[in-house]
Structure 1
Amino acid sequence: MTSVSTTSPHSPQAKAKDGDRKSLGASVVGQLLEWYEWSSYAVFAPFIAAAMFDKSNPTSALLATFGVFAIGFLARPLGGIIFGIIADKKGRKNVLMTTILMMAAASVVIGILPSYESIGVWASLGLLIIRVLQGFAHGGESAAANSYIPEIAPKHKRGQWGSLVYVAIFGGSVIAYTLGGMISLVLSEEQIASWGWRIPFLLGAVAAVIAMIMRRHMQESEVYEQSNKPASATEAREEHHDNLPHPDPRFVQVKQRKKHSVLVSILLVIGMVSGVTSSHYTWSSYVSTYAIKHEGMSTQGTYWVTVVAQVIALISLPLWGRLSDRIGRKPVIYTFAVLLAILQLPMMNLIDSRPWTLLVASTVALVVVSAGGALLASVMSEVFPTNQRTKGIGLAYSISVAVFGGTAPYIFQMFVARDLAWMSSVYVIILCLLTLISMRFLPETKGIELQHA
């Protein structure tokens, strides 16, 4: 899987620098805005369905909207691979600048795209193409961010710093739902359906300009830069570290991991991410639409309780990351997988037309999901070598999110439409068990030094 070495206290991973903290902030702000733009689609899915598809069959239109949502995710592996190769050769910063520009441009186009009533099926096709481009950019953004932040983090805080990648995911969703709630307060549902749903996409593009300015001053990770030093210097450094005494038994495990292929790591990461991503998109994207369309919950009530639940989950993310820096990655991931497998059905069955039921169910579920999400960046960065890290993460993470996460809302809606809602929860439970099994075969990586070659 990965090949790393224990280094001196003066290594790039030993302590945080001021430049690293500024780069961390710039990276997180950019991701926050990108995830806001991405989440806005899910928040306003019922209104987008009415605007961009044939209104004569609302259920079919909603399924089509979630289908486009899923197709956007299917473009992520390609973006992850292509941008991952670029990031491993040219640096993480270049990719992070490019992807935020692409997401901003796509957001503007969605905001001004003519409706189905104006241009017919071309509206549906245009939305599909734009979401594919967004998915392509998102795959590259996720791959680079999940490599970059762990690389600039001190090794004893990598879990906590890495959790900020998922803080951005939740934070973007919180902003999207908060704006959705505010729009629902000011505008009628007819106004939202007519033009109000376009506001978040246009605002997101404006905010992205600020993020691009911040990212211009980001520093390339020192781990990446050292991995691209001349071969002679790299080999000499590795020989020096290999000759140092290594009393920590984890070093032996790390050396043994050299025998494993990157392909094995990719397959295990796909499995590990599957339960986290399916449960995340179920509880952050789909349940609000489910509560509105199938339980009769008010749009305004749904948005605000979803915001509260996600804020609570967001606060828990760094705590889960910090806990993993103390007790290890495996125990925290196991906690997520077991608890959610137990709670998935009861929490879904709790939801009815009363907003408090969604608040309780979403809060409990999302705090548990946070235990898994907080550790994705640190675990993935620790199982791939530096010269293949972004490409490996881009492929494994994007495939898992596309297959198991992006399709979750569509699968849920399909089962619900056939009065088989319980099957959706069974689907999530099975994937949580897959996460548990995959993590069993991944090594414990807490506190290791990322490879510099």
Structure 2
Amino acid sequence: MSEELTTISAGSPPRVPPLMQGVSRRRRAKDLVAVNIGNAIEWFDWNVYAIFAPFFAVQFFNRADPLSAMLSTLAIFGVGFLMRPIGGWVFGMIADKRGRRFSLTLAILLAAAGSMIIALAPTFTQVGVLASAVLLLARLIQGLSHGGETGSAFTYLAEISPDSKRGLWASTPWVGVAIGTMTATGLGFAFTTLLTPEQMSDFGWRIPFFVGAALGIYGLVIRFRMAESDVYEQQDESPHSLTLKDTWRILVEHRTAVKYIAVLSTSGVAIFYTWFIFAPSYATTVHGVPAGQALLAGLLGQAVFLALIPVMGALSDRIGRRKMVFAYTLGFAALAFPLELILGSSAVRLFLAMALASTLLAVCCAPLGAIFTELVPTRVRATVVGITYGGFCAIFGGSAPYLNTWLSSLGLHYLFVATLVGLSLLTAVICWRMPETRGTAIR
């Protein structure tokens, strides 16, 4: 394959935006909302686990050793990530073979099924180690679903966007990420305020999983009504086959794009799961911040990310994608240890640290959907993005909460922070070498 980027020259006629091709602007705007509502539900299902882990850990493992139970629960959180590259492969091929809409609809169905299994799961006291096996099964199902969601959502929204607003439109899945995560965090705050710790441990933790399953049914309905991407339907080449050999050939053929997507994802997902998802639980278990206060602080910190994502997505359409990711890498490398010094036993300090981290994450995350889409052709786009992004999420995102908690228990938390700094600097080096993709005509 040619790795060259096709740009829109000043003298050539502009490509007719997909919004103008057969489907109205109003319909495409509705489809954008539908994708992101479904994406929010997916992320609610995924992150309810991390938010409520301190309350249900002893329900699935031996309560005689709470730290071991928590580490085991986080280990299953990490194992769920191992399914994400598989989900990226399976759902990416489905999206490239059967269409983006079909893939997105199937993904949310599996996410809802995983939530229902956890909501109804028996406890360690009732069935012994079988309880942890059921929990593992549910997370594997959700990992498979979640791995398919990201690549298909980025791909679909970038494909239906106007060229001049691709950064903005392709950033909106992160709005869904924020809304889903904030809803999970908000429920955590509400329940820890209304219920006693004993009630939370006994039954309160199950309620959000029932909510997630119910929301999944709603997401299934709205996604089923979406229109297919015009870029996908009007492509000249036939979709690729479903074999492993063909998939490997595709990844090798597009290895330059794979390299960029992999490295751009690496530090972002590790920092995202450390500061955006797991920080409230970490502040509670390590710094002793009361659970309700930590979740409220986390909710407010996540709101900063939500507000900034569309701003940063639109900014990437004006100044370019590469500059923004490069600014994020240097910014986090400089602030990683100061952020740890801000974090402490106060909920206010947790909010300040999360707000700063969320600002940096918004600068990083907003341009990624557009970059990924602009690097890979339509015929294999969902597969390449899904496998690569899902794989590096599995390695660096899934392991972050466990590694953070384990090193902190040994008094070596600074090693974890240094690792994040190293990943940021690696991303900076690769980003410096990457061509600017703004203005690329997707093909």
Q: TM-score range by the shorter chain?
A: over 0.9
CA-based RMSD = 1.6
Q: Which of 256, 275, 299 in structure 2 is aligned with 1:264?
A: 256
2:17 maps to a residue whose letter is: P
Residue 99 of structure 1: aligned partner: 107
TM-score, normalized by length of structure 2? Answer: 0.92
The reply to whether residue 21 of structure 1 matches residue 29 of structure 2 is yes
SS in 1 for 2:205: helix
Kept in 2, the 8 Å contact 1:266–1:395? The answer is: no
- Aligned-residue sequence identity (percent) comes to 33
2:440 equivalent to 1:439: no
Aligned length: 423
**Corresponding residue of 2:246:** none
Q: Does 1:177 align with 2:185?
A: yes
**CA apart distance, 1:264:** 2.1
* Compared CA separation, residues 65 and 371, structure 1 to 2 (3 A): same
Matched residue, 1:379 = 371
**1:381 match: secondary structure:** helix
| Separation in 2, partners of 1:204, 1:227 | 36
Report matched runs for 1:54-453 at 5 Å. Answer: 54-228=62-236, 261-451=253-443
What letter is aligned with 2:93? I
Give the letter aligned to residue 417 of structure 2. Answer: S
Q: Which runs of 5+ in 1 are unaligned?
A: 232-259
Q: Distance in 1 between matches of 2:219 and 2:91?
A: 19
Render the CA deviation track for 1:126-152: whole Å, top value 9, x for unaligned.
Answer: 111110111011111111111111111
Distance 2:364 2:131 in 1: 37
Shift of 1:59: 1.4
- Alignment deviations for residues 181-234 of structure 1 (CA, whole Å, 9 cap, x no partner): 111111111100111011111011111222111112111111111115789xxx
**Given the superposition, is the C-alpha separation of residues 341 and 5 from structure 1 closer, same or farther in structure 2, using an over 3 Å criterion?**
closer
**Structure 2 CA distance for partners of 1:380 and 1:229, relative to 1, 3 Å:** closer
Q: In 1, distance between residues paired with 2:299 and 2:212?
A: 18
User: Do 1:150 and 1:378's aligned partners in 2 also have CA atoms closer than 8 Å?
Assistant: yes
Question: How much does 1:285 deviate?
Answer: 2.1
* Distance in 1 separating the partners of 2:28 and 2:19: 12
Could you tell me how far apart the structure 2 residues matched to 1:444 and 1:108 are? Answer: 43
Shift of 1:422: 0.8
The CA deviation at 1:12 is: 3.1
Classify the secondary structure of the residue corresponding to 2:64. coil
Structure 2, unmatched stretches of 5+, are: 240-251
> Contact 1:95/1:140 (CA < 8 Å) preserved in 2?
yes
- Partner SS for 2:234: helix
Secondary structure at the aligned position of 2:438 is classed as: coil
The range that moved more, 96-105 or 53-62, is: 53-62
Residue aligned with 1:219, SS: coil
Q: Which runs of 4+ in 1 moved over 2 A?
A: 1-10, 12-16, 228-231
Cα distance change, pair 64–230 in 1 and its aligned pair in 2 (3 A): closer
In the alignment, the residues of structure 2 paired with residue 23 and residue 372 of structure 1 have an alpha-carbon distance, to the nearest angstrom, of 25
Tell me the CA shift for residue 33 of structure 1: 0.5
Scaled by the length of structure 1, the TM-score of the pair is: 0.90
